Amino acid sequence: MDRKDGSEDYVIRVIGSPTEVDAAAWDRLVEAQPSAGPFMRHAYLLALHESGSATDDTGWTPAFLTVTREGELVAACPLYVKDHSYGEYVFDWAWADAYHRHGLKYYPKLLSAVPFTPVPGPRLLARDAQARIALLEGMKQFARQADLSSAHVLFLDEADQAAARTAGWLMRSTVQFHWTQREPEPYEDFADFLAHLNRDKRKKIQQERRRVQESGITFTTHEGEAIGTDLWDFFYRCYGQTYAEHRSTPYLSRDFFARMQATMPAHWLMFVAWRDGRRVAASLIAIDPARGNAFGRYWGAVEHIPNLHFEACYYQPLAWCIAQGYRRFEGGAQGEHKMARGLLPVQTWSAHWLAHPQFSQAVADHLAREGEGVSNYLDELGERRPFKAS
């Protein structure tokens, strides 16, 4: 689809592969977004595509959207035509089922997201608010021309939320759990962080950590280029085994992580658990050194050790973040159990447009009720904060 928007002299195009998008121009847009992280970088999205993790064969058909003005890229977003809802973490299976029961096709649909990555941030990379609106209008135009049921934008930052509301899209909220550094007096170390938790939560964490230590577990920390191929191989063995234990297969291929090692090494941190001289588990954390943010992403173990998951995925990363002066650690999608470990609830947002008028109204009514439930849930969580009363 090529379309010219006469009001702003925009040219809107759908690009069939991230390889066809100028990487430097794309990354300039990324760096211009205050809340940008590593996941919207061209190298990350390209690795998903070229590794076979997010392609036509896996149900993620690229249709990246670009907006140019006088030949210059002023807005862009990752966009996929999808025939399923896997790997999204904003669940619309009930919507698909309702379409099916009424003899309508929900799939294929249009999705703007970072595949398999439920991290809030900019999805509509744009120079200004008007260019963001142009991206949303371009999505609707493409969806209509391709006879798609709907368009969705997941885990938007504040600027994207404002654009979506202005454009009249339906808004949906979910809850994640994030840790943020204490202000104005930062935690000095992990012990200081524990000291600010209420007694029950502090005691529980201390017991979990002690049991891991009593199991003979020690950890090594590896950052950036210090994560060699042997460690990446071990991590992937752990990652794959975790999926196998749940009778599933990994979304991400080994080749994807090889590309991360080659193109984005500075954005990765690995904690490796050892016992009796053997590696037994690993957790992989994405980091954004420029903004002081860290993101819990993947983990796995080759043998079951009680409480090791909490140590590898929360306590080791939190201790590292405090020591390195990081301001934020995001624990990933869902997981109320994270709150007992010092991560607090955060409201996240997605935006939705449905072509069918009656279904759009039905979903709007549903989201109004669902939104009230999320608001009540957040109020309830707020009454169960794990920290001492200030």
- CA distance to 100, 292, 293, per residue, from 328 (Å): 41, 7, 5
Q: What is the pTM of this model?
A: 0.95
- pLDDT tens profile 339-387: 999 999 999 999 999 999 999 999 999 999 999 999 999 999 999 999 9
Residue closest to 260 by CA, chosen among 20, 25, 57, 48: 48
Domain boundaries, the chain: 2-175+346-382, 182-326
> Which amino acid is present at 363?
V
| 277 φ/ψ angles, rounded to the nearest 5 degrees | 75, 5
* d(C-alpha 253, C-alpha 47), whole Å: 10
pLDDT tens by residue, the chain, 390 residues = 555 554 568 999 999 999 999 999 999 999 999 999 999 999 999 999 999 999 999 999 999 999 999 999 999 999 999 999 999 999 999 999 999 999 999 999 999 999 999 999 999 999 999 999 999 999 999 999 999 999 999 999 999 999 999 999 999 999 999 999 999 999 999 999 999 999 999 999 999 999 999 999 999 999 999 999 999 999 999 999 989 888 888 999 999 999 999 999 999 999 999 999 999 999 999 999 999 999 999 999 999 999 999 999 999 999 999 999 999 999 888 789 999 999 999 999 999 999 999 999 999 999 999 999 999 999 999 999 999 986
For residue 150, what are its two tokens?
């709907």
| 303 φ/ψ angles, rounded to the nearest 5 degrees | -150, 155
For residue 180, what are its two tokens?
């943020």
- CA distance to 4, 44, 184, 332, per residue, from 295 (Å): 38, 15, 23, 7
- pLDDT tens profile 223-270: 999 999 999 999 999 999 989 888 888 999 999 999 999 999 999 999
* d(C-alpha 90, C-alpha 87), whole Å: 9
- Fold of the domain built from segment(s) 2-175+346-382: Aminopeptidase (3.40.630)
DSSP 386: S
Query: Coil, strand or helix: which one is 17?
Result: coil
pLDDT value of residue 4: 54
Write b or e for each residue in 272-282: b if 16 or more Cβ atoms lie within 10 A of its Cβ, otherwise e: bbebeeebbbb
Evaluate whether the domain defined by 182-326 bears CATH number 3.50.50.60.
no
Same CATH fold assignment for domains 2-175+346-382 and 182-326? yes
Contact (CB, 8 A) for 300 and 248? no
Kindly report the length of the chain. 390
Contact (CB, 8 A) for 144 and 355? yes
- CA distance to 62, 273, 295, per residue, from 113 (Å): 11, 32, 17
